Amino acid sequence: MSSFLLKNITIADSKSCFNADILIENGVVTSFDGKCADTVYDCTGLVAMAGLFDMHVHLRDPGFVQKEDVITGCNAALAGGIIGVAAMPNTKPVTDNVETVRYIIDKAKSTGVEVHPVGSITKGLKGDELCDFDSLKAAGICAVSDDGRPVENAEMMREALVLAAERNIPVISHCEDLSIINGGIINKGKVSEKLCVPGMDRASEDYITAREMILASSADVPIHIAHVSTKGSVDMIRFAKSKGVKVTCETCPHYFLMTEDKTISMDADYRMNPPLRTEEDRIAVLEGVLDGTIDCIVTDHAPHTPEEKSDFYHAPNGVIGMETSLAAVLTLYHDGKITLSDIARIMSERPREILSLPNVKIAVGEKANICIIDTNHKWTVDPVKLHSKARNAVFKGVEFKGKPIMTISNGEIRYKDAEYNFVEIK
């Protein structure tokens, strides 16, 4: 029997925080007051949360494995304390068929990360014909989305919402009006004007956010809004929730920690879609996180090669973030804005609820699925040291306080920070 003990650790979930000694035997939590084990870690000052879940990532596999693949993406997830992800369908081939869904699931089996493919709403992400939701669900998808682009036809989107709701399949909407975007590459505002580059007007996101909630409300079905970045969207979602609309939403750390000012450098690593917005938007997104309007924090992890990102004007949109998301959110904890229980809710529990996936908890009798965090460990983000194939880290060069130092998945230690000094009690 193999065993290890996490001695004197703080367990944080959405309801409470308490100190305990977590004894793990043969991969299962067997006691909160264990005395001995094969290996004993002194976890004084450390925090244990149920493994995190990122419900919006791009693993680029199949089709774009020069950017990322399932294995490297899962390695990055584990280094970020993440044991489950929802992988978006803009692969090649698109995840609109049973074979691609099964390929992704099968490739992830050995990684220690639950990879839940998101099927596309329309075939080929073209917006012309709905996919066969029944076969995709049977194959193992957790949701449907045409992420990367909107479903432009409102009636087709309404039909998708109804059909998906009948099958208990969440619908995730990429809210962007392409005619309003019209070739924009950063937020439309002071920086785009200064650089003389086309901008992406906030109205693009706000318009489709409003449309999706109107469609969902009229059919009385759920809708999930992806990567919220504007004050208008936050305000509308807050109002819609108050009126009983079945809307949930997400945002990424860069939208409440950064603004369009980052793009003045003409560094394409600060280009993503939706783009970094204004200070007014940043504050509104932060307020949405703090008051619960925004349900969960995701990364929209979007790897690209250094060569692709070398040209500011023509680089593809997207940044990587799975290894920095928890550290970024911990800045709010250190500022006294949120608690550890809030973090457990928005980064572990709530995403699984939205996707109707089983909850993961630290409890006696449960498989050990645990993210161990040193909330006071200072470190600087060096893209070269990250586990992703890509280097387009939006928080590159940022010094954070706090990071995941060990990730236990399905009872097995899958990640230990090689530079962290773990204290073992002999």
Strand pairing class (370-380; 399-409) = antiparallel
- Cβ atoms 257, 328 nearer than 8 A: yes
Average pLDDT of span 224-236: 98
Q: Give per-residue pLDDT as tens, 329-355.
A: 999 999 999 999 999 999 999 999 999
DSSP reduced 3-state for 421: coil
Position 425 confidence tier, pLDDT thresholds 50, 70, 90: confident
Average pLDDT of span 230-243: 98
DSSP tag of 13: -
Average pLDDT of span 91-96: 98
Distance CA 329, CA 293 (A): 16
Distance CA 111, CA 80 (A): 14
> Is the pLDDT confidence value at 1 over 60?
no
Q: What is the pLDDT of residue 35?
A: 80
Integer-rounded Cα Rg, in Å, for the chain is 21
**Percent of the chain at pLDDT above 70?**
100
DSSP reduced 3-state for 211: helix
Q: C-alpha angle with apex 17: 45 to 398, nearest 5 degrees? A: 55
CB neighbours of residue 106 within 10 Å: 12
> Is the pLDDT confidence value at 177 over 60?
yes
Q: What is the pLDDT of residue 36?
A: 86
Least confident of 33-37, 142-146, 187-191, 298-302: 33-37
Position 426 confidence tier, pLDDT thresholds 50, 70, 90: low
> Is the pLDDT confidence value at 309 over 70?
yes
Distance CA 212, CA 207 (A): 9
DSSP tag of 328: H
> Is the pLDDT confidence value at 229 over 60?
yes
- Cβ atoms 366, 358 nearer than 8 A: no
CB neighbours of residue 33 within 10 Å: 8
Go through the domains of the chain in sequence order and give each one's CATH number. Answer: 3-48+363-376+400-425 (2.30.40.10), 50-354 (3.20.20.140)
Q: Which two tokens stand for residue 159?
A: 């039909």
Q: Which two tokens stand for residue 397?
A: 């060069």
C-alpha distance from residue 177 to each of 63, 186, 211, 228, 260 (Å): 26, 15, 10, 14, 20
Position 34 confidence tier, pLDDT thresholds 50, 70, 90: confident
Catalytic residues: 300
Average pLDDT of span 74-93: 98
Mean pLDDT of all residues in the chain?
97
Q: C-alpha 280: how far from its chain's center? A: 23
DSSP reduced 3-state for 376: strand
Distance CA 104, CA 58 (A): 12
Per-residue DSSP letters for 93-121? S-S-SHHHHHHHHHHHTTTTSEEEEEEPS
- Cβ atoms 187, 278 nearer than 8 A: yes
Helix, strand and coil content of the chain, in percent to the nearest 5, comes to 35, 25, 40
CB neighbours of residue 122 within 10 Å: 23
For residue 102, the one-letter residue type is R
pTM: 0.97
Q: Give per-residue pLDDT as tens, 35-61.
A: 889 999 999 999 999 999 999 999 999
Distance CA 214, CA 143 (A): 20
Q: What is the pLDDT of residue 150?
A: 95
Average pLDDT of span 241-263: 98
Q: Which two tokens stand for residue 344?
A: 């457990």
Which residue intervals of 114-196 are DSSP H helices?
133-139, 154-166, 178-181, 190-195
- Any residues with CB less than 8 A from the CB of 244 and at least 6 apart, and which? none
Average pLDDT of span 206-232: 98
